[in-house]
Structure 1
């Protein structure tokens, strides 16, 4: 098991594709912070505005603006400034051709060497991570990486926009079933950045009594499972997609 923050030192641009604001911060913010510190350019692509989120009586019409602002603040906490929203409806995401095309568009714009997204599989050991939107985005992102983004004949309207084919080298999937995990990242030195990112999502985390303790315990258990007892880690299923 490798514990390096990078599976390939050649990756200098990364794209994170998630379903909702805060998904990247629960799953990958420490890893992202480590990449940014190493000079990797990171872009976030959030497929919804999180309009079905929240835990209080905030007017529904206000929630998309609130959550987009929270995600931009969370991104800034780990050094990411490029945050894009696709505008799909929270809770109703499907892995259709439109979503595949929209993610392909972002891939061709950003031209990342590495993509992080959700696993399209159900994690039966921890079902809350397998939200239907997560799995749909994971499936659509996988299809956008292969074959869509690299195939000039896929989504021909993108060529008309001047977006040339691009091949992504690595796909990192969070929330994968444990038996799929093959890469763990030691984020001990970036825990404060991850916590700051999560704390920025006040509409989602302010009601939690011990956010810091909850996250630290989860990361410590992950590290211990992957041979890094006493450290904090995030874990992924990494696939060579070149």
Structure 2
């Protein structure tokens, strides 16, 4: 059992694992949150797979979904490759109206059974980012469903059809780590992977150029650097990617 540290200090993330599965709603969700940590993990020889509930097809106002979805999928695959992630899956739920419920839980539980991770990663599942910025329904739905699916994946009596499809129960998830939370408990040194995290986010160029008039590289570098530096005071002065870790 991990020894408790003072409330205001972040503990190092667990390191005794080999496979991680990151489950989020949209292309770019992981790049805005935790790609620097992913780069460090893959450098260390760990396996990380990405699963996205949607293709982000409703994410660019000036581009119709039929064209936007394939473009954002292409950007996501290129972005993942920058930080050493070779496998990216899409569950094809409809962007913007992803619904929390059994169908989403089943799809995520199936992914967990396929990839058999010890660590599952997702994004902030709470109503707000802090106290005044409202979160999106997609993030809430996918984050909550991922936390639930970590248990569903190990229960043979929940979604028994998955076993009939050859996906045996997997009860090996030991932690679910939530990125983008305002209640972090753990952190990862961001320095080894920070530059690649900038390049990874920059692969979402079409999305970023529609989002801001700022130079894309300046925007990515400024956003990500500010995020990891904000966690340094709670992690021994080290710029860090923070997570809220739920033990299982």
Q: TM-score, normalised by structure 2?
A: 0.88
Q: Matches of 2:132 and 2:116 in 1, distance apart?
A: 32
Aligned positions, number: 233
Q: Matches of 2:65 and 2:137 in 1, distance apart?
A: 21
The answer for the alignment partner of 2:235 in structure 1 is 227
Unaligned runs of at least 5 residues, structure 2: 1-8
The answer for the alignment partner of 1:53 in structure 2 is 59
The answer for the alignment partner of 2:5 in structure 1 is none
- Check whether the contact 2:10–2:184 (CA below 8 A) recurs between aligned residues: no
Unaligned runs of at least 5 residues, structure 1: none
Deviation at 1:129, TM superposition (A): 7.1
- Deviation digits for residues 5-32 of structure 1 (CA, Å, limit 9, x no counterpart): x4132x1000000000000111110111
Q: Matches of 1:208 and 1:220 in 2, distance apart?
A: 24
Match among 172, 181, 206 for residue 176 of structure 1: 181
The answer for the alignment partner of 1:196 in structure 2 is 199
Correspondences of 1:97-136 after superposition (within 5 Å): 97-125=102-130, 128=133, 130-136=135-141
Deviation at 1:232, TM superposition (A): 2.2
Q: Which ranges of 4 or more aligned residues in structure 1 deviate by more than 3 Å?
A: 1-4, 126-129
The answer for the alignment partner of 2:227 in structure 1 is 218
Match among 170, 174, 192 for residue 166 of structure 1: 170
Distance 1:39 1:53, change over 3 A: same
Q: Matches of 1:84 and 1:228 in 2, distance apart?
A: 36
SS across alignment from 2:169? coil
SS across alignment from 2:42? helix
**CA RMSD for the aligned pairs?**
1.7
SS across alignment from 1:198? helix
